[in-house]
Structure 1
């Protein structure tokens, strides 16, 4: 985060040097008696202010937007490592599932905003916080985006159905269309038939809201930042009683078609990394399901 300026109250400083030791950018120094600002380049992480026992350090980084939530009564406690139940956290993570059955009830605007607040408590590379969130607050807005996504895939399917076009792309080193035809064409074609027939929604599955997570230029790892924010949003949504699902097809359509971008209400110049469908679940899961053992490697030296 740019334009951050740490300030140290020399009179209040106890001389512990903790702020300088924790500064990731080398902006703060410690001469054995007092801490001071010794360089530029503060990324606004706030570590120094968060650990100063005398509250002698402040970081001017604008409004603390996550200081209060509208629909969640958070007491504001700082939870230190080891102070939260890992068992409860694991149960939350295992219980959250991708929801594809929603009621028709809308999600209140304050809840959607609180989901964004929860999302931006995630870490970001060099603390860039370059996220953007485009919130579709109604079923009508979700359907409008769904129609634009359907139009994109109609055009892609038309291209992919032509073997000459597929082979031509492959010959110039572009096998994506051939891969798409093999892996996605049949299911997308079937979904489009149902959508065109009676608006059966196999994309957003009846969700009454959605949030598009993007980024403005300047972040060091914007995709990773957005997906970390999305995971926060998914877990917070589950805790709030909402269902959620990541919609990868919508991401691809927005990335490749300006008409879909316009339907989502996105300006030019923003990258898109995730689309989260949201709504009140019309299904109750009674137990956890399995996860395969991943490839895990350990190195001891």
Structure 2
């Protein structure tokens, strides 16, 4: 990696100094030349390149052909953005029509644009559309829940744990209902989704969950904008956390830890209205 300042075009505006999270850019006095220090501490975030009005920051990781001017007039206004956010629902009226690849590509691209801690950019994505693999995910989830239910209902275990784990035991009837619906072919786990988006990171990423869920939010809003149904796969994630053996990841060829899963499909219809949520619990201190 190389980083330098083209002093002939630099207007010494100090914007790069203000935005660099690693404090690489310094200006000892106003209007003096921008200098560089601790270049090895660069996290390759690109803030310096993007903020420079004269393209005077030369960074080997951000050639000029990869840097784009922002057209702020093209941005949705706050009211339109809020309308998109408020209209987002888990639409489970999924049809058999597959999600077009170009839509899947846009959803993944949006997810990939999310920020990551220390700009590590170690979030990866796996999209499953193979019906056999989708069934594998459902089977896995039901099997984990079935094993958990058998354990919890063991007379000795139940006597010992139920007084202290009432919140867990209230889900046992739900596990049985899911098992019955799954056996009947009703797909209570994936809700007949035609695609699953797995968001995962290397196990060494300390902020993998945070990074992945930021990516999920971007993907969710893009799916909403495209008219694609999206459903958070809480049951599958619960099964993964319960089992703790990475069985599903290995079975799907995913290298790393799965942190978020989104079911995707083309809806039979879109909601014409949205109901207000409870007022935010909000305080300004």
Structure 1 and Structure 2 fold alike (TM over 0.5): yes
Deviation digits for residues 114-164 of structure 1 (CA, Å, limit 9, x no counterpart): 211111211222212221211102333222211111111111111122242
Give the aligned partner of residue 233 of structure 2: 247
What is the correspondence of 1:92-241 to structure 2 with a 5 Å cutoff? 92-168=84-160, 179-182=167-170, 184-196=171-183, 198-241=184-227
Deviates more, 1:287-296 or 1:257-266: 257-266
Describe the SS at the equivalent of 2:16.
helix
What is the correspondence of 1:263-274 to structure 2 with a 5 Å cutoff? 263-267=251-255, 270-274=256-260
| Count of equivalent residues | 279
**How has the CA–CA distance of structure 1 residues 284 and 181 changed in structure 2, closer, same or farther, with 3 Å as cutoff?**
same
Give the aligned partner of residue 46 of structure 1: 46
CA distance in 2, matches of 1:181, 1:81: 54
CA distance in 2, matches of 1:82, 1:22: 24
CA shift, 1:233, in A, is 0.3
> Quick check: 1:130–1:216 contact (8 Å CA) kept in 2?
yes
Deviates more, 1:24-33 or 1:215-224: 215-224
Deviates more, 1:81-90 or 1:114-123: 81-90
**How has the CA–CA distance of structure 1 residues 146 and 5 changed in structure 2, closer, same or farther, with 3 Å as cutoff?**
farther
Deviates more, 1:216-225 or 1:16-25: 216-225
Give the aligned partner of residue 71 of structure 1: none
Q: TM-score, normalised by structure 2?
A: 0.88
Describe the SS at the equivalent of 1:213.
strand
CA shift, 1:7, in A, is 2.9
CA shift, 1:77, in A, is 5.6
Deviation digits for residues 212-234 of structure 1 (CA, Å, limit 9, x no counterpart): 11112454532222111101101
Q: TM-score, normalised by structure 1?
A: 0.83
Which runs of 5 or more residues in structure 1 are unaligned?
69-75
Deviation digits for residues 155-187 of structure 1 (CA, Å, limit 9, x no counterpart): 11111222422454579xxx56x53222x1111
